[in-house]
Amino acid sequence: MDRTRNRKLLVSVFGPQEAREAILGGARIVDSEDPRSALGNIKPQRIMDISDAALAAKRDLEIQLSTNIGEDQLLFRRSETGQAIQKSPYEIAGKASQAALGVANAMGVRVHPSNIVKVGVDGMQVGLVTQVLTEVSSTLKRTEEFSHCQVMGVLFAQDLELWNERKSDKAVRRSLIELREFHPASQDTPYAFDLTAEGGSWVIGTVRDEKGSFLFSEGDAIDLYALHQKGVLPTDARTPWVALNELFPHSTYYPEAAVGQRTTKDIIKLMVDAAASSGATSMMLDTQIQTKVANICLVDTSSKGLVDLNKYDIGLGGFPTRGILQLEELRFFVDYAHFLGIEANLAGSLQSFQAQQAWAFIPYLDQCSTRGGSSAVELNPITGQPAGEDTRQQRIIKRQLVAGLAPPEQGGFLNIPIAMKENPAAIGDITSLMETLNALNQKNGLDALPAFWVDKFGNMEAIR
């Protein structure tokens, strides 16, 4: 094992068994997260269960724990007319630091004294980002037990043009309805749609109760009253029309740096500046849940220097995967983070063929993060039938898929979706990727990277 590097794979898990699978697959950071959102808040007792599982697990290298206080730190109050008014930055920063103390306590220090608290900073101007991260970092440092706890700021990269092209697709909409990523709207709201239209097909087989059961089935009467009764819409909603929750445009919050509709180096610089000046120890580039559902990821494999497999990876609505940031932009992020003395983490729906290229082409990258790329559809061992659905929130972590994103010096694999095996156009690019990665690994004194076809259940077949 190459001990001249300290590269780490962060795996987001939702329970003890997933934590064990993550560690066995090569996770160095076990992250407690609810998969139903980008940085899903998770109950403290579940974080404790995950911590216990990590403590009892056999591992070759030290394991850190991490969790988050969500992607939206903003607090609002309602005016007499029902409008939302943002509360003061003082209260926002105070609430975030209270949450950070809570999750730090849930993680404890038995597994590792330097656990990580992730802080999403979406929808904030730079001054508020700095204030929130500073308050969280300073509060944790003042405690006796959590003084070594680390803080990671999370910036959500975006491509609004691509999101706007895909957000009206029915499959994308239905998935985001299941995730409750919508709000009441009027009929004339742009991109609004009626939940009772088409026989209520928007909510049949999508929205669930806390136990995971669907609220509506075929034949149910679906009208505004039923949507109120089931809690799908608030009782003050006067129509069944809704719109998807939108992304926070960079142009609104970083007008001094925003150019066009996608994340740029200038935006990245602003956020790394804010993280470093606040006392945070690392910065993550991630993507919002809306973006993930629309098959828009962080890494643009069509950019110069990378082998493009994104175009063969087909998701909801038949959309091919599209990336936001090019290789040279990702390198800038890592270089600038290191220049200011903090670690860099790449997330955003990373797949094995993206992560292994990131490790190879940015060898000084500190961390990668995964959930979707290391999860599979669960099978019932008694019936042999799927026990869950093929969705982000229903899939479970599998150790062999985790290994597909681990650094090569820590036993990483190259996992390729088996659907690409049937695409003749993809075979040449896959061969080129394997040859490129193996040449780079050999140059770095590493063995050839094992390569496998993998299906949605996590079954593996060696690529000859």
Contact 37, 31 (CB under 8 A): no
Kindly state whether residue 107 falls inside one of the protein's structural domains.
yes
Residues 368, 337 within the same domain:
yes
Residues 283, 330 within the same domain:
yes
Please give the C-alpha separations between residue 10 and each of 20, 137, 217, 259, 282, in angstroms, as whole numbers.
Answer: 13, 21, 38, 31, 13
Average per-residue pLDDT for the chain: 91
Do strands 64-68 and 29-32 pair parallel, antiparallel, or not at all (unpaired)?
Answer: parallel
pLDDT at 444: 81
Domain end among 244, 272, 289: 244
Mean pLDDT for 98-121 is 92
**CATH number of the domain bearing residue 104:** 3.20.20.380
Residues 192, 314 within the same domain:
no
pLDDT at 41: 73
Strand partners, 157: 287
Contact 117, 150 (CB under 8 A): yes
Handedness of CA 135, 137, 138, 143 (dihedral sign): positive
With CA atoms as reference, report the closest residue to 203 among 172, 177, 235. Answer: 177
Please give the C-alpha separations between residue 202 and each of 164, 170, 220, 247, 390, in angstroms, as whole numbers.
Answer: 19, 8, 13, 21, 18
Kindly state whether residue 37 falls inside one of the protein's structural domains.
yes
Residues 240, 270 within the same domain:
no
Please give the C-alpha separations between residue 318 and each of 227, 294, 351, 391, 424, in angstroms, as whole numbers.
Answer: 30, 10, 18, 15, 18
Residues 155, 253 within the same domain:
yes
Res. 34: pLDDT tops 60: yes
Structure-token pair, residue 63:
């394991």
How many percent of the chain have pLDDT more than 70?
A: 95
With CA atoms as reference, report the closest residue to 372 among 399, 396, 346, 355. Answer: 396
Res. 77: pLDDT tops 90: no
With CA atoms as reference, report the closest residue to 150 among 357, 418, 379, 341. Answer: 341
d(CA 376, CA 370): 13
Give the up-direction half-sphere exposure of residue 377: CA atoms within 13 A in the CB hemisphere. Answer: 14
39: confidence class by pLDDT, cuts 50, 70, 90: low
Residues 355, 223 within the same domain:
no
Q: State whether residue 296 is helix, strand or coil.
A: strand
> Given 3-state DSSP classes, what are the helix, strand and coil percentages for the chain, each rounded to the nearest 5?
35, 20, 45
Residues 107, 238 within the same domain:
no
Do strands 150-157 and 116-120 pair parallel, antiparallel, or not at all (unpaired)?
Answer: parallel
Mark residue 186 as left, alpha or beta (left: phi above 0; alpha: psi -120 to 50; beta: remaining). Answer: beta
Kindly state whether residue 352 falls inside one of the protein's structural domains.
yes
Kindly state whether residue 200 falls inside one of the protein's structural domains.
yes
Q: State whether residue 186 is helix, strand or coil.
A: coil
Contact 283, 173 (CB under 8 A): no
Residues 132, 267 within the same domain:
yes
Domain count, the chain: 2
d(CA 204, CA 232): 12
Residues 204, 259 within the same domain:
no
Question: Which range, 76-90, 142-156, 377-391, has the best average confidence (pLDDT)?
Answer: 142-156
Residue 419: count of CB within 10 angstroms of its CB: 14
pLDDT at 90: 80
Kindly state whether residue 452 falls inside one of the protein's structural domains.
no
Q: List pLDDT tens digits, range 165-204.
A: 999 999 999 999 998 999 999 999 999 999 999 888 999 9
- Provide the residue count of the chain: 464
Contact 333, 344 (CB under 8 A): yes
Kindly state whether residue 111 falls inside one of the protein's structural domains.
yes
Domain end among 213, 244, 275: 244
C-alpha 110 chain-centroid distance: 26
Residues 378, 232 within the same domain:
no
Mean pLDDT for 88-104 is 87
Phi, psi of 46 (to 5 degrees): -70, -35
Kindly state whether residue 213 falls inside one of the protein's structural domains.
yes
Res. 31: pLDDT tops 80: yes
Domain end among 373, 388, 416: 416
Query: Which alpha helices (H) appear in 308-383, and where do they start and end?
Result: 327-339, 352-361
* Residue-number span of the structural domain to which 193 is assigned: 182-244
Kindly state whether residue 210 falls inside one of the protein's structural domains.
yes
d(CA 31, CA 50): 9
> 17-26, 262-271, 442-451: which has the minimum mean pLDDT?
442-451
Q: List pLDDT tens digits, range 41-54.
A: 788 999 999 999 99
Structure-token pair, residue 33:
């997260």
Structure-token pair, residue 50:
């995950």
Structure-token pair, residue 239:
């129509």
116: confidence class by pLDDT, cuts 50, 70, 90: very high
Contact 50, 19 (CB under 8 A): yes
Residues 227, 260 within the same domain:
no
C-alpha 384 chain-centroid distance: 29
Residues 137, 281 within the same domain:
yes
Instruction: Dump the DSSP string for 234-283.
Output: -TT--SSEEEEPPP--HHHH-TTT--TTB--HHHHHHHHHHHHHHT-SEE
Whole-number CA gyration radius for the chain: 22
pLDDT at 4: 67
This prediction's pTM: 0.93
Res. 74: pLDDT tops 60: yes
Residue 130: count of CB within 10 angstroms of its CB: 23
With CA atoms as reference, report the closest residue to 257 among 89, 73, 159, 125. Answer: 125
Residue 242: count of CB within 10 angstroms of its CB: 23
Res. 1: pLDDT tops 70: no
Higher pLDDT, 330 or 40: 330
Q: State whether residue 13 is helix, strand or coil.
A: strand
